[in-house]
Amino acid sequence: MERIVWLDGKLVPESEAKISVFDHGLLYGDGIFEGIRFYDGRVFRLDEHIDRLFLSAKAILLKMPWSHQEIVEATLEAIRANELRDGYVRLVITRGTGGLGLNPYLCEKPSMFIIASTITLYAEEYYENGLEMVTCATRRPAPASLSPQVKSLNYLNNVMAKVEAIKAGALEGVMLNEQGYVAECTGDNLFIIKGGKVFTPPIGDGALDGVTRRVIFELCQDKGIEIAERSLTRYDIYTADECFLTGTAAEVIPAVTYDDRSIGDGGVGPVTKVLQEAYVALTRSTGTPF
């Protein structure tokens, strides 16, 4: 069955979902996006994702012609149209069609499309046994260039870091900031456990304030697990007892090897398992019904 895409207020078959070659999202990466998961008929943390979408729009002076509720309804409509119960939805908003120059004010109105589909970011074996990571030479962009909190369409920096990781035989790469501190992975936030305490880089070090990242803080509080933001170096990951990554698409996935060094005993640790199970339970029991 051909996927149905929500495009500027209409539901159209995937083969007919087209944007102009003059769209500034395509020409310059001038736009924003959100990725959202839905489980068993509920969209997980939908309002939080849409809130962040509006913050990204404000940061890049992209005037939204839709209200928060209109985008919520469009998202649910796109999911229903594809008759899915579980999956992933990608919302993309571009600056719209304009000229070949950079001037964004020549774009008359933004364009939005919403794709609802299934997704498998990592094979099940990696959730059970953990994945390998390496350090990427490509650095996380400095906040003075573009805030890491803006989920823009220009992900070339992350793409090139991902290429490095794959070329090195790993599924994920750790990206550092210009000071050499850990920012995040190519597409996920990073957490370590040391002495039973959970640590993650502060957003000031280049980490995205991920929705799943926030959920981990909530789950740690519920489980009585101490958690804190702290600047991390590669040494901190090398000598950690456990490590895991989080992201909307990735969910909660263990990392057991970093730069050819086993993390802890090289297996999935107990704290990671507790948080994995708690996250799965939460996603299957809460969310916006559609």
d(CA 184, CA 237): 12
DSSP character at residue 15? G
Closest CA to 203 of 150, 241, 156: 150
With contact defined as beta carbons under 8 Å apart, do 12 and 5 qualify?
A: yes
d(CA 99, CA 91): 24
Instruction: Give strand pairing partners of 13.
Output: 4
Give the H or E element holding residue 118: none
Q: In the numeric block, which tokens belong to residue 101?
A: 């120059």
Which residues form the catalytic set? 151
d(CA 250, CA 253): 7
Give the H or E element holding residue 286: none
